[in-house]
Amino acid sequence: MQPHFSSANATTSLPRATRKLLETGVAIQMQPPSKQDFMFCHSILAQLCLPRVRIDGREFHQRSGAAWISLQAGMLDEGAGPVWQPVPHGVMARLLLMCICTYAVRYRKHDIDVEDRAAGLLKRLQYDLQGWRYSTLRQQLHAWAACRLQLGFQGHTVNSQPIHQFDAWLPRASGADGRWPKVLQLSQEFYTEIVEHGVPLDRRAVTALKGSTLALDIYVWLAYRLHQVGRHSVHVSWLALMRQFAHSPTGRHAVQTFQRCFLHALRQALVVYPGARVTLSEGGINLLHSQPPIPRSALNALKKEAGTQGGPHG
């Protein structure tokens, strides 16, 4: 059985979010991505998911197949001494990390320019400038700056603190001249992993899906996985999907609830990834070979351009 995933013409009767999603899907179908539409994510983070909500503890672990991730919350000096930060979580943590990865890949630099104003970053992510957005952005930026990250796959382990150096976003009460940090410095290990294993994404799709953390996770996974599928389709069971996307499902109807939520989010992701080929099958879904969101020719051109800007340490 193959479900009908369509980016049909939107109508004014549809909710605004749905209408915008459909319009973005049509735009992606009609217009190839420009260089400004390229975004990147770490390949391990395309196979495993960060927490979607804040967790109570200071550690988060997840495993899917041969890949695994471990996040440990850390402390950050916020002007008056060390303060424990949460484990990075939610959609803002994902988008922020994608922006950091994108800058590193595009410009081949460890020092990431995060702009002198928070508003600039929020606009780049197509967010409104309500006060609580700034608070969420500050929390997740500090969480990434303080956390320790371990990534593993088939005997290969990377121990990293993604951000090597960072000046905290200080509150107005501190009297600091520059509340919003201008530059953060990536660790060598994390920078190398991003440049060598970055997964290309279409910025238009990413921003269109930012209202659903699950749909965004599915899109990133498909962008990483589908172009690797060979001549024969790959079956992914509901059990495997639950381990990857549901973290720790509980309750009497956990399986049915997960399937319903996953299929809804999958439909959203496929609207803005029109080239993706996914079918519903007995006991799960089938993945078929599909072109990646960003054509390989465009990526090769970007790598060549980056090489002329001074190489990895330019």
Question: Could you read off the pLDDT of 125-142 as tens digits, one per residue?
Answer: 778 777 788 888 888 988
- Inter-residue contact 200 to 223 (CB < 8 Å): yes
> How many other β-carbons are positioned within 10 Å of the β-carbon of residue 9?
10
Q: Coil, strand, or helix at residue 173? A: helix
Write the pLDDT tens digit of every residue in 46-65.
888 899 999 999 999 988 87
To the nearest whole percent, how much of the chain has pLDDT over 90? 41
* Mean pLDDT of all residues in 92-103: 90
To the nearest whole percent, how much of the chain has pLDDT over 70? 85
Write the pLDDT tens digit of every residue in 244-294.
897 666 677 788 889 999 999 999 999 999 999 999 998 999 999 999 999
Whether 9 is in a domain gets the answer no
The pLDDT value given to residue 174: 45
At 248, list the tokens.
Answer: 């720790």
Q: Coil, strand, or helix at residue 93? A: helix
Whether 5 is in a domain gets the answer no
Inter-CA distances, 72 with 58, 85, 164, 222, 282, Å:
6, 10, 15, 27, 38
Q: How many domains does the chain have?
A: 1
d(CA 73, CA 87): 5
- 168 vs 146, more confident: 146
The pLDDT value given to residue 310: 46
Quick check: 178 pLDDT over 50? Answer: no
Quick check: 311 pLDDT over 50? Answer: no
The pLDDT value given to residue 86: 95
Alpha helices of 109-228 — where are they, by DSSP H? 118-124, 131-146, 188-197, 203-208, 213-225
Whether 215 is in a domain gets the answer yes
- Its domain, for residue 120, covers 16-313
d(CA 31, CA 130): 31
Whether 110 is in a domain gets the answer yes
The pLDDT value given to residue 1: 41
Quick check: 84 pLDDT over 60? Answer: yes
Cα Rg, the chain, nearest whole Å: 20
Whether 8 is in a domain gets the answer no
Whether 1 is in a domain gets the answer no
Whether 3 is in a domain gets the answer no
Inter-CA distances, 175 with 142, 168, 311, Å:
19, 13, 39
- 121 vs 276, more confident: 276
* Mean pLDDT of all residues in 195-224: 94
The pLDDT value given to residue 6: 44
Quick check: 177 pLDDT over 70? Answer: no
Quick check: 314 pLDDT over 90? Answer: no
* Mean pLDDT of all residues in 207-234: 95
Whether 299 is in a domain gets the answer yes
**Mean pLDDT for the chain overall:** 83
